Amino acid sequence: IYDIAKEVLKVYPDLLKMSQEKAISICRDFAFNMILKEIKEDLERFRVIYDSWYSEKSLYEKGKIDKVLSILKEKGLIYEKEGALWFKATAFGDEKDRVIIRSNGEYTYFASDIAYHYEKFNERKFDLCINIWGIDHHGYVPRIKGVLKGLGIDPERLKIILIQMVNLIEKGKLKSMSTRKGEFVTLKELMDDVGVDAIRFIFLSRSLEAGLDFDVELAKKQSQENPVYYVQYAHARICSVFKKAKEKGIEKIENTKINWALLSGKEEIELMKLLEEFPSVVEASALYFAPYKITYYLLDLAKNFHEFYTNYRILGEDENLTHTRLALCLACKNVFKNGLELLGVSAPEKM
């Protein structure tokens, strides 16, 4: 708040001489734009890009809320009680009816949520909407699904994903955080500390239903204990193999010299079997909204590749065997790169 106030005074040095109403309006708009700009910059750095940013305020300005409330009123799904306007949420399985407009005339968040979802389905013609909410909002699910049903929209077209909270571990201890006390770690601070790749990979290494303990020290380690390093190192290792192959005069893999029957070792066969699974892993990850399936798969592939690399000589005397093992390495390299790209994680060529 102090930082924003300093910036406002730089732009509006006469702010304190203005009327209270005008000054508050200027401060509100300035703070909104400044904070939103920082959020967008942080998300872009985190490789999260939104195609559209939607203003809740526009729902009021364009009359979207009044429009949807009139529809609910026509359907007999809202009523007045104690000076407030209520939605008959109990008719759709909720534990109690919900307030849309308070007795003092203020609209609740529920009012704008109703209008926003109605506009998405009925005006912007979404087939499926996916909402990602914190687990503490689980009680909100029945009312939003109920109001969609009341509006004649199939509730199954709204997929609500509830995610668990993240615990931050520093030096083996749980970091205490409280937004009320102003004690918290921002995404920007975490990116500065451990890097984007580590955060994305580790965040995506758990199912949505499972909690996550984010170990800051582990995320910074350059060893096989660090999952993202372990996978990225496998990709970099393969790039190193091809660099050495060029130094030995092998500019490219010759298909006529590939003979898959030459790969009969346990690790080689396991690696080929794993590579064949990749398309089905990606498909399952998409169908079940479970990117962690790709993370688990890449860790398993990295483990098998490192074992293969340790136990077999890739650039050997047998020309056909060399080209065949290089072909296997190339397949692994492509899968590592594609898998990491799907997770929004880089695939470095050297580490």
Name the CATH superfamily housing domain 54-163: HUPs (3.40.50.620)
**CA atoms of 308 and 317, how far apart (whole Å):** 18
**Which pLDDT value is given to residue 212?**
87
Give the DSSP H or E segment for 348. none
**Which pLDDT value is given to residue 9?**
94
Residue 137 is classified by DSSP as G
Taking CB atoms within 8 Å and a gap of at least 24, the contacts of 268-275 are: 268/308, 268/312, 268/325, 268/328, 270/304, 271/301, 271/304, 271/305, 271/308, 271/328, 271/332, 272/328, 274/300, 274/301, 274/304, 275/301, 275/331, 275/332, 275/335
Cβ-Cβ contacts under 8 Å for 12 (sequence gap 6 or more): 18, 26, 30
Q: Which two tokens stand for residue 312?
A: 């077999």
Whole-angstrom Cα Rg for the chain: 27
Contact between 262 and 321 (Cβ < 8 Å)? yes
pLDDT tens, per residue, the chain with 351 residues:
889 999 999 999 999 999 999 999 999 999 999 999 999 999 999 999 999 999 999 999 999 999 999 999 999 999 999 999 999 999 999 999 999 999 999 999 999 999 999 999 999 999 999 999 999 999 999 999 999 999 999 999 999 999 988 888 988 888 877 667 777 889 999 999 999 999 999 999 988 888 889 999 999 998 889 999 999 999 999 999 999 999 999 999 999 999 999 999 999 999 999 999 999 999 999 999 999 999 999 999 999 999 999 999 999 999 999 999 999 999 999 999 999 999 999 999 998
**Which pLDDT value is given to residue 184?**
82
Q: How many CB atoms lie within 10 A of CB 117?
A: 22
**CA atoms of 65 and 274, how far apart (whole Å):** 52
Q: Would you list the domain boundaries of the chain?
A: 1-45, 54-163, 165-351
Per CATH, the number for 165-351 is 1.10.730.10
**Which pLDDT value is given to residue 196?**
97
Q: Which two tokens stand for residue 258?
A: 């590939």
**Which pLDDT value is given to residue 60?**
94
